[in-house]
Chain A
Amino acid sequence: MHLLTTSLDKLLGVLEAVGGFVAILAFLFWLAGKVRGRFEKPIANILLLGPAVLLLLIGLVIPAIRTIFLSFRGQYVIGPDVKYVGLANYKWAFTDPHTLHTLVRTAEWLVIVPLVSTVAGLVFALLVDRMKYQVIAKSLIFMPTAISFVGASLIWKYVYQYRAPNLPQIGLLSEVVMKLGWSHPPNWLLSSPLNTFLMMVILVWIETGFAMVIMGAALRSIPDDVIEAARVDGAKGWRLFRSVQLPMISSTVTVVIITIMTATLKIFDIVYTITGGNFHTDVLSNEMYSQIFEEFNNGRGSALAVILFLAVVPLVTVSILRLRKERYA
Chain B
Amino acid sequence: MSVDEALVTETGETPEPGGLTPPSHREPVKTHQRLATVVVVVMSILWALPVFGFFVTSLRSKAEAEGSGWWTVFVHPSLTFSNYIDVLFHGGANIQGGGLFPYAMNSLAIAIPATIIPIIVASMAAYSLSWVRFKSADTVYFIIFGLQVVPLQMSLVPLLQLYSHGAHLGSFPIFPNLNLHGSIAEVWISHTMFSMPLAVFLLYNFIAQLPNELIEAARVDGANFLYIYRRVVMPLSLPAIASFAIFQFLWVWNDLLIGLTFSAKSASAQPLTVQLQQLSGTFGSHLELLTAGGFVTIIIPMIVFFSLQRYFVRGLLAGSVKG
**Measuring CB to CB, which residues of chain A are less than 8 angstroms from any residue of chain B?**
3, 6-7, 10-11, 13-15, 17-18, 21-22, 25, 29, 32-33, 36, 40-42, 44-45, 47-49, 51-53, 55-56, 58-64, 66-67, 70, 77-78, 120, 123-124, 127-151, 153-159, 161, 168-172, 175, 205, 208-210, 213-214, 216-217, 220-221, 227-228, 231, 236-237, 259, 262-263, 266, 268-269, 272-274, 285, 288-289, 292-293, 298, 301-302, 305-306, 308-309, 312-313, 316-317, 319-320, 323, 327-328
A139 to B32, CA, bound (A): 23
- List the 8 shortest-distance A-B pairs measured between CB atoms, nearest first: A59-B193, A148-B254, A52-B125, A63-B158, A48-B128, A7-B105, A146-B305, A63-B155
Given known A-B contacts A29-B226, A205-B47, A220-B7, A320 and B145 have beta carbons under 8 A apart: yes
Residue in chain B with minimal CB distance to A214: B317
Q: Which residues of A contact B201 (CB under 8 A)?
A: 320
CB contact between A146 and one of B89, B152, B205, B302 (< 8 Å): that residue: B302
Question: With the chains together, A289 CA to B273 CA distance in Å?
Answer: 17
Instruction: Output the least CB separation between A270 and chain B (Å).
Output: 10
Evaluate contact between B121 and A220: CB separation under 8 angstroms.
Answer: no
Chain B residues with CB under 8 Å of A61's CB are 147
- CA distance in complex: A139, B312 (Å): 13
Cα A105 to Cα B159 with chains together (Å): 29
* Residues in chain B near residue A221, CB distance under 8 A: 11, 13
What separation, in Å, do the CA atoms of A132 and B32 have in the docked complex?
A: 15
A-B contact pairs, 19 of them (CB 8 A): A14-B184, A48-B225, A48-B229, A55-B193, A56-B147, A62-B158, A66-B157, A78-B161, A124-B40, A127-B36, A128-B40, A132-B18, A170-B66, A172-B69, A205-B47, A263-B323, A309-B149, A323-B321, A327-B318
Within 8 Å CB of A259, what residues of B?
320-321
Given contacts A17-B113, A259-B321, A327-B318, 12 further A-B contacts (CB under 8 A): A3-B89, A45-B132, A48-B127, A63-B154, A63-B156, A148-B253, A148-B255, A150-B254, A172-B69, A263-B320, A269-B273, A292-B156
B124 to chain A, nearest CB (A): 4
B93 within 8 A of A: no
Q: Decide if B4 is an interface residue (CB 8 Å cutoff).
A: yes
A67 touching B37, Cβ below 8 Å: no
**In the complex, which residues of chain B have a beta carbon less than 8 angstroms from the beta carbon of A175?**
69, 71
**What DSSP secondary structure best describes chain B's contact surface?**
helix
Q: Return chain A residues, CB-CB under 8 Å to B149.
A: 309, 312-313, 316-317, 320
Q: Which residues of A contact B113 (CB under 8 A)?
A: 14, 17-18
Cα–Cα distance between A168 and B279 once the two chains are bound (Å) = 23
B98 interface residue per 8 A CB criterion: yes
Residues of B within 8 A of A29 (CB): 226, 230
Determine if B196 and A59 form an interchain contact, defined as CB atoms under 8 angstroms apart: yes
Instruction: Select the residue from B18, B190, B279 with max chain A CB neighbours within 10 A.
Output: B18
Residues of B within 8 Å of A156, CB to CB, are: 50
Asked whether, in the complex, the Cβ of B297 is within 8 Å of the Cβ of A150, the reply is yes
From A7, A135, A269, B4 is in contact (CB under 8 Å) with A135
CB within 8 Å of A: which B94-148 residues: 98-99, 101-102, 105-106, 108-109, 112-113, 116-117, 120-122, 124-125, 127-129, 132, 134, 140, 144-145, 147-148
| Complex interface: stretch among B75-83, B210-218, B280-288 | B280-288
**Would you call B54 and A154 a contact (CB within 8 A)?**
yes
Q: Which residues of A contact B134 (CB under 8 A)?
A: 41-42, 45
- Complex Cα–Cα for A13 and B213 (A): 41
A49-B140, A157-B280 are known contacts. Are A59 and B21 too (CB-CB below 8 A)? no
A273, B280: Cβ atoms under 8 Å? yes
Chain B: residues with CB nearer than 8 A to chain A? 2-4, 7, 10-11, 13, 15-16, 18-19, 21, 24-28, 32, 36-37, 39-41, 43-44, 47-51, 53-54, 57, 65-71, 89, 98-99, 101-102, 105-106, 108-109, 112-113, 116-117, 120-122, 124-125, 127-129, 132, 134, 140, 144-145, 147-159, 161-162, 165, 175, 184-185, 188-190, 192-194, 196-197, 200-201, 205, 224-227, 229-230, 250, 253-257, 260-261, 264, 273, 276-277, 279-280, 283-284, 287, 290-291, 294, 297-298, 301-302, 304-306, 312-313, 316-318, 320-321, 323
A97 to chain B, nearest CB (A): 23
Do A143 and B276 have beta carbons less than 8 Å apart? no
Q: Which residues of B contact A131 (CB under 8 A)?
A: 18-19, 36-37, 40
Most chain A CB within a 10 A radius of its CB, from B69, B98, B112, B201: B69
- Inter-chain contact B153/A288, CB cutoff 8 Å: yes
B165 touches A305 (CB 8 A): no
A64:B290 contact, CB within 8 angstroms? no
Q: Once bound together, how far apart are the Cα atoms of A298 and B117, in whole Å?
A: 31
Kindly list chain B residues whose C-beta atoms are within 8 Å of the C-beta of A146: 250, 298, 301-302, 304-305, 312
Contacting pair A213 B7 (CB below 8 A): yes
